[in-house]
Amino acid sequence: SAKTNTVAVGSWGSGWNDGGIPAAAWIGYISNMRVVKGTAVYTSNFTPSTTPLTAVSGTVLLTCQNAAFSDNSSVNNALTPVSGATVTGNNPFQAGYYSNYFEGSGDWITTPNVSAFDLSSASVNFTIEAWVYNSNNPTFNGIIGARQNQQAQGWCLYIHTNNTLYM
C-alpha cells in the first residue's frame, strides 16, 4: 500500500527535528518548486527553464512562485507556512514573479499528509526541480523532503557543506 508523507519545503522533512526545528533547514530562496510523480521529465541533456514552470502531467506540487503560499498543481495541496517563511520578489525571472525566503531557524512550508508524495518505490519515476539560492552553507541544507525520522525513512533533496546536491 502507498505510504503517506507530509512534505516540507525549506527543510528535509517535518518529522525529523532538533528541538522542534526541522533538521537541515534551508537558508535562502526557493522558487518554482515542482514535484512530478510518474514521469522523469528530463531524460537527456536539457537547458534550464527561463520562464516559470507550469504543471505537466503527474505534477503533485508546484509552489514558491506566487505572491501567496499556494500550490499551482492540479492536486492543489493546502500549504501551511510555518514560523517566518516569507514571500519575496527575488526570483530567477523578472518583476512580477516570486520566491519564498527561509531564514533557517524554524521556518518552512508543509503540505497535507498524502500518498501523492510517496516516492519510495524503486519503480516510481519522478522529477524534483526548483530554482534555489543558498545564502548560507551549514552542514546540511534541506530544500525539500518527506523524511519522517532520523532513520532516513522517506526522501529528501539537500545540499551538503561540500556544495554537492544529494537525494
What pLDDT, in 10s, does the model give residues 66-124? 999 999 999 999 999 988 889 998 888 888 889 999 888 778 888 887 788 888 776 78
Full-prediction pTM beyond 0.85? yes
Looking at residue 19, its pLDDT comes to 46
Q: What is the mean pLDDT of residues 146-159?
A: 71
Q: Do the beta carbons of residue 15 and residue 152 sit within 8 Å?
A: no
Looking at residue 155, its pLDDT comes to 80
Lookup: cell for 156:
529528501
Q: How many CA atoms lie within 13 A of 92 on its CB side?
A: 17
